[in-house]
Structure formats: structure tokens, C-alpha cells
Chains A and B, each alone.
Chain A
């Protein structure tokens, strides 16, 4: 992919972002079940607390917002497209093989008719393979753009899903593909929930921090997110945000389950006020920097 090549060029010019010592790359994902718990707040503060250069991937491609806090100059942009079929009707024998293989009903054949429904296509390429008549030509559907820029020691890569597009995973994969070989620390800011876009983001993370809040809803959705990570068999821990509000159920549940709680962030109106002006938590509350550094240390040693 052209975009990945560009990333390597950038890495070549900015050697501080990569290691030449063959150090192991550390992918740390920040996820949650429930939305609005503070994933981006935590991810940005971790990136700013790191003592090494960071590749920050905003994988919440439906509404990327880390750029508001990191404020990079987004100077690189590339389109992310999928290869989807378009029918060359004069070659089609209406055999129906494409219809049989499509699990998403994105193409159908009946009588002397063939119809495609591009928005349902997952671009698996199966129809191209089974068509005996070469009646399918490749056309493309844009799923969004991948943008990149740097700010201090952080390189931000973000995806922006095209409005109306429903398939986020291909774009998230394109965002992840921007990271060059040799990057040392990659922070992935995941979308909320437990569906495909989250799986794509966390599936190969070396560690996932689940940000939650001490409310019944926070606990309920944390359990779902924990279920995902256990199913994926990936290591994870928890950060409790606004920890002095609500109840102790999240903490008690984590203890009973043997899940490590790395950090508890207190509720503080100043944090919310800073957030509303695009100020990272770690800037509003510099006294919390050591706690974020400690989390990174724990994660990197895990």
C-alpha cells in the first residue's frame, strides 16, 4: 500500500520514532465497553507521559478526536478503498456462482438479471475468483481517508470513515498499516463497544487497558469487554475513571476476577473543563503524570 511506503519514508527522516536496536514493538490498546469513559483522555496522557517516541493510532474512525488534544499538523492524507465487483453484463452467463459465494447478499443473479449492492460488499474477492466468464471487473469504493501528522514526539495516525460508510475495519487496518517496522511504542485508541472495529483494534495488541467508570453501566459493559479479551486470549488490565463517584462494584469485581486495576483517576471538574478546551488531562493535572508513567512501566513490563 502506498500509504505504508510513505510511513517508512517518514520514519527514515525521523529516526527518533523507530528503534534500530531491534527492540520489541509494544502495542498498547486503550479500549472500553461503554463509550465516554475516557479512552482518549487516558490514551493521550499515556502518549504524553511516555519517555520514548510514540505512534498514536486513533482507531475510532467514526469520530476520531485525539487530534483535538494532540494538535498535530495533519499533513499526509491517503484514500482507503475496497475492491468491489462491477458487472460486465455482456460477458455474464448468469450462472449464479457469484451469488452462491457471497455471504453478504451483495450480488444476486436471477433469470437474465444480475444485480450488485455495493454497500453490502465486504470486498472478500470471492466473486472474482469463482466467475467463469470474467464478467466482473474491479471497481472501488472509498471507505475513508488515513491522515497522519506529528506533534512533538508523537506521530498521530487517524482514520476518518466516509460519511455513509458502515464498514470501519478495513480503514482501521489501513491506519495500523502506517506503523513502520521498528516503531517501539504504539498506542491504539479503540472505538467503544465490543463489535468488529474493536476486535480489529485490540486483536494483536500486546496489552489492552480497559477504561471504565464505577457505575452499574460501566461494570456491565466492562464485563462484555473483558469477555472479548478473554476470548481473544490477550492480556489486559483496567483503569477506573471518575473513581470516586459511583460505587465499589467495579473494583470488587476486578479483584474477584483477578484483574489488575492499574490506575484510578479521580473525578475533578478541572479535568472536564480542560477537556472541553482540548487540554490533555496530564496538562490539566500534572500531578497525575507519575501515575501515568507507572501505568506505562507496568504495561511495558507485562
Chain B
């Protein structure tokens, strides 16, 4: 049985990346041998203006895993994983190894829905270009995102 773990690095001792769609990597671990069998570089999804979760979830599905261990997962990514029959175990932290051990011990609980609400894009400051990715904002420092990367939106 193969498990995908969202991670900040490529190895079994890498930390879990709390974000599913914008995780750095997915470390694919064989649950029986606890060996890393594959690593998915998620940089394409990570840098997508939006739809990162959909992109990441599709790659996970194609990797043929049975379960996903992650931190937070949004509704679009969850919809893809659910359609593919992949079990999602959210709210995990620590290392990839910890999570897999926990999974094997049966204490990890799988999700019956997304852990997050939809959010429309990459948050400010991660868009690469100046000004962040927010399309429109009313006040400084507000969260959220925009459909259009680059530039900044409304603020008063």
C-alpha cells in the first residue's frame, strides 16, 4: 500500500508540509516496508496562480497511492481525491516517518470532507512578482487572494 505525504523535503525525515495544494513535495512511501518509493516535485502546482490543489491531487491520483497524509486540504483538491477513492488523512504534523508510523498504528483519522473553505488564489507575497497576488483588497494586510497574479487590488 502506497501513501503520499505532503512534505517540505524529499526524504523520510522531511517535515510534513501543512499545505496540500502548495506543498513542496509529495513523498510516496510504501507502508509495509516504510521505504520511500517515489517523490513528486510539486513545484508546478505550487507556483500555479490558482487550482494548485486540483493539479496536485491529479498527480497524486496518477501516482497510484491509496492514502494521502497532509495538513490542510481544500474542497477542490478533496473532490478530486474523493472521486479517485483516495483516503485523506489531514491535520498531521512532524516528519514523514512519524506520520507513516502513526498511520500504521491506526491512530490517524481520515477526513470525511475538506478541512478548508475555497480560497481564490495564491496569497500575497508568494506570487513572485512585486505586490503579491491579490486582485483587490480593501485594507492593508487582509488575507485572501485574487484571480489575477501580480499587482495589487483595491485598498482604501
A residues with a Cβ closer than 8 A to B are 34-36, 62, 99, 104-106, 108-111, 113, 115, 117, 120, 166-167, 191-199, 221, 224, 228
Contacts and interface: CB of A to CB of B under 8 A. Distances in A.
Interface string B128-152: 0011001110100000001110111
B156 A195 contact: no
B54 A228 contact: no
B54 A108 contact: yes
Contacts of A196: 135, 147-148, 151
A193 B152 contact: yes
Q: Is the interface of B mostly helix, strand, loop or mixed?
A: loop
A105 B61 contact: no
Max chain A C-beta neighbours (<10 A), residue from B130, B147, B156:
B147
Contact of B152 (A104, A105, A199, A224): A224
Given A104-B51, A192-B154, A194-B151, 5 more contacts: A62-B136, A108-B80, A167-B147, A193-B153, A195-B135
A194 B156 contact: no
B50 A195 contact: no
A291 B147 CA distance: 39
B19 interface: no
5 smallest CB-CB distances across A and B, nearest first, come from A105-B51, A195-B151, A36-B156, A196-B148, A194-B151
B120 interface: yes
Contact of A194 (B48, B52, B76, B152): B152
Contacts of B136: 62, 191-193, 195, 197
B154 A193 contact: yes
